[in-house]
């Protein structure tokens, strides 16, 4: 590391609030900071390396720095062995409050270059359900034997929901949405991790009107239909696994080429992060103190800490019972 820059440490970032017509105000129960204004907040971006919405370090010697700036000054210290593979941070992390219904949509995979802006990627994502309302529903995949012709006819007739596979989620459910999967959400609060992309194609929007514009939102039916994986079966909650890559009491929720999601619920001290590797910690319940370099970094429900590769594994001491998600970046084989 260049000595003219402050050394890296566990990094907390300022949340970025996003208005969405389907959003609500439930994220106020999760975040330590109050929600702005009175409009529905559908998304809070927790960690973003995007030009339009860059995350800023919230505290410490690097306060005010973006992830892009951190990568430029010390990419190897931030990303470890991934430093030569990614020009920007490869993931985007969010909390979503879907008070109404998310549009029925699909994201392209990396293979659909013609639909992806230069410098962007496809969008595979995953959710962890944090709160559910009485109408909570996850729509993930199409019903068996749904063809492109049948879906096209349903779009014309306004009967798309009849072709969507769905289930009633429980708090704690993990859901993996591979790019090309038709999906939607209703009446849930979730944590979302995804490829660092903002490419979304809407098939159907439940005839909703955006109260800010008084108009319906545009659809991108042609692009969406081209990107759908019609062989994708209906999707349900993932089955958590115990895996030897992490000692007990960690469980693995998601593992794919783009990210991994681990979860621990514990009242006794445990190790978080990994030596020489960048990880992100998301606290979804309780409070804890993370120790690094003789300094305690307190974090609680709704807080997110980026652990640079130079920080590595840290001791985490719960204050009572705590639930933490640990997000890993792509593995280099």
What would the DSSP string read from start to end of 197-227? Answer: ----EEEE-TT--BTTTTBPPP--HHHHHHH
Q: Are 174 and 130 in contact (CB under 8 A)?
A: no
pLDDT mean over 95-115? 96
Q: pLDDT tier at 2 (50, 70, 90 boundaries)?
A: very low
Closest CA to 264 of 274, 254, 276, 249: 249
Tell me how crowded residue 207 is: count the other CB atoms within 10 A of its CB: 7
pLDDT digits (tens, 9 = 90+) for 127-185: 999 999 999 999 999 999 999 999 999 999 999 999 999 999 999 999 999 999 999 99
| Phi, psi for 50 (deg, rounded to 5) | -125, 145
- Give dist(CA 20, CA 204) in Å, integer: 16
Count of CA atoms in the C-beta half-sphere (13 A) of 311:
27
Three-class SS state of 70: helix
Structural domains in the chain, sorted by start: 16-227 (2.60.120.10), 251-328 (2.60.120.10)
Closest CA to 11 of 309, 288, 284, 266: 309
pLDDT digits (tens, 9 = 90+) for 254-284: 999 999 999 999 999 999 999 999 999 999 9
- Give dist(CA 120, CA 105) in Å, integer: 18
pLDDT of residue 242: 81
- Give dist(CA 199, CA 179) in Å, integer: 11
DSSP state of 157: H
pLDDT digits (tens, 9 = 90+) for 200-221: 999 999 999 999 999 999 999 9
Residues with Cβ within 8 Å of residue 282, at least 6 apart in sequence: 46, 93, 191, 303, 304, 324, 325, 326, 327
pLDDT of residue 246: 73
pLDDT digits (tens, 9 = 90+) for 85-104: 888 999 999 999 999 999 99
Q: What percent of the chain has pLDDT over 90?
A: 89
């Amino acid at each position: 590391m260049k000595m003219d820059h402050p050394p890296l440490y566990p990094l907390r970032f300022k949340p970025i609030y996003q208005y969405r017509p389907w959003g609500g105000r439930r994220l106020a129960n999760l975040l330590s900071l109050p929600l702005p204004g009175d409009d529905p907040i559908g998304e809070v971006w927790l960690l973003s390396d995007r030009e339009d919405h860059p995350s800023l370090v919230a505290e410490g010697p690097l306060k005010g720095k973006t992830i892009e700036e951190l990568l430029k000054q010390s990419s190897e210290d931030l990303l470890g062995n991934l430093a030569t593979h990614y020009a920007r941070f490869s993931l985007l992390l969010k909390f979503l409050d879907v008070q109404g219904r998310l549009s029925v949509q699909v994201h392209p995979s990396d293979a659909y270059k013609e639909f992806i802006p230069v410098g962007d990627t496809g969008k595979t994502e995953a959710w962890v359900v944090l709160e559910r309302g009485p109408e909570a529903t996850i729509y993930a995949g199409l019903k068996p034997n749904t063809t492109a012709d049948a879906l096209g006819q349903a779009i014309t007739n306004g009967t798309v929901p009849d072709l969507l596979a769905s289930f009633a989620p429980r708090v704690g459910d993990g859901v993996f949405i591979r790019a090309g999967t038709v999906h939607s959400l209703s009446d849930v609060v979730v944590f979302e991790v995804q490829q660092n992309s903002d490419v979304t194609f809407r098939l159907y929007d439940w005839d909703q009107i955006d109260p800010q514009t008084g108009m319906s939102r545009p659809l991108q039916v042609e692009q969406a239909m081209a990107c759908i994986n019609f062989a994708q079966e209906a999707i349900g909650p993932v089955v958590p696994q115990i895996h030897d890559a992490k000692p007990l009491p960690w469980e693995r929720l998601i593992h794919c080429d783009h990210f991994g999601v681990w979860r621990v619920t514990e009242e006794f001290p445990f190790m978080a992060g990994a030596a020489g590797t960048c990880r992100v910690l998301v606290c979804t319940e309780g409070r804890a103190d993370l120790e690094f370099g003789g300094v305690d970094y307190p974090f609680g429900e709704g807080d997110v800490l980026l652990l640079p590769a130079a920080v590595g594994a840290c001791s985490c001491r719960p204050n009572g019972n705590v639930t933490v998600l640990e997000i890993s970046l792509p593995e280099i084989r």
